[in-house]
Structure 1
Amino acid sequence: MLIEKRDQRLIRAIHRYQQYRDARGLWGRLCCAWGKLGHEIWSLLSGSDINREADLATDLRMPHPTGIVMHRNARVGANCLIMQHVTLGEIEGGKAPVIEDGVYIGAGARILGGVTIGKGARIGANAVVLQDVPADATAVGVPARIMPPKKTPE
Structure 2
Amino acid sequence: MPIRDLAFAKTQVPAVRTFAEIDALLAKHGITDTRVTSRTVDDDEREYTLEFIITDARLAVRLQLIYPLDPPSRRNSAARALYWFVKAKLDGIAYGIETAEIAWAPYLLGPAGDTLADDPERIAASVGRGHVFALPRGDT
Length-normalised TM-score, structure 2: 0.30
Length-normalised TM-score, structure 1: 0.28
Query: Which structure has more helix as a fraction of its residues?
Result: 2
